[in-house]
Amino acid sequence: MYDEQLSNVFVIAAILLERNLQSVANHLILSLAVADLLVACLVMPLSAVYEVSQEWKLGPELCDMWTSSDVLCCTSSILHLVAIAIDRYWAVTNIDYVHQRTAGRIGVMILVVWSLSLLVSIAPLLGWKDAKWYDRVNLQYECMVSQDITYQIFATASSFYVPLFVILVLYWRIFQTARKRIRRRQQVTINEFIV
């Protein structure tokens, strides 16, 4: 796990310091690396304490912050993969997209990713918790994200199932487009060879 976080530090440093890597498309990669690095900074230390002690003695406020940070960073990471897939889909299916890929457009994509992630993660902080949440934290010393079934469906769908479906569809479409182009080139090459 520490190797992955060190890799994220190197990715961030490389993009920020190397002029050739400061392309607009790499802003999505940079934001993804930041999301993954935040897991190491915000989530993993408290996770290690909780794992070693086998009980949550840090109170409900810190439990809320910890679980929300975990949901925020993980959702953001997954939604960044969706944004990267969308960017690649547009690049493959729209020849002019490379000229339309502006810092503003990528910035909006990054803003949408972080905003949706914040929406999913902040809901329990605003009260979308199951009735037993406080008893679990204060009496049973267990810290976990809200177990309210509607929140679980909302969070799981928006953090995993919907992004997975979108990614699969986009990469399938990219595959189909690439296959059509390869077949077209092969046909042109065969026709030129015959002539």
- Does the pLDDT value for residue 195 go beyond 80? no
Residues 26-81: pLDDT tens digits? 899 999 999 999 988 888 889 998 999 999 989 899 999 999 999 999 999 999 99
Burial environment of residue 66 by CB neighbours within 10 A (0 to 12, 13 to 18, 19 or more) = buried
Q: What global pTM score does this model have?
A: 0.86
Average the pLDDT over 91-106 and give the result.
Answer: 86
Q: Are 31 and 15 in contact (CB under 8 A)?
A: no
Residue 183: what are its φ and ψ, rounded to 5°? Answer: -65, -40
Packing angle, helices 103-122 and 26-38, rounded to 10: 20
Q: What percentage of the chain carries pLDDT values higher than 90? A: 58
Residue 2, pLDDT score: 56
Question: Which of 12-26, 30-44, 113-127 shows the highest mean pLDDT?
Answer: 113-127
pLDDT tier at 192, thresholds 50, 70, 90:
low
Residues 152-179: pLDDT tens digits? 999 999 999 999 999 999 999 999 998 8
Domains and CATH numbers, the chain: 2-170 (1.20.1070.10)
- Does the pLDDT value for residue 94 go beyond 60? yes
Q: What is the mean pLDDT of the chain?
A: 89
Residue 193, pLDDT score: 65
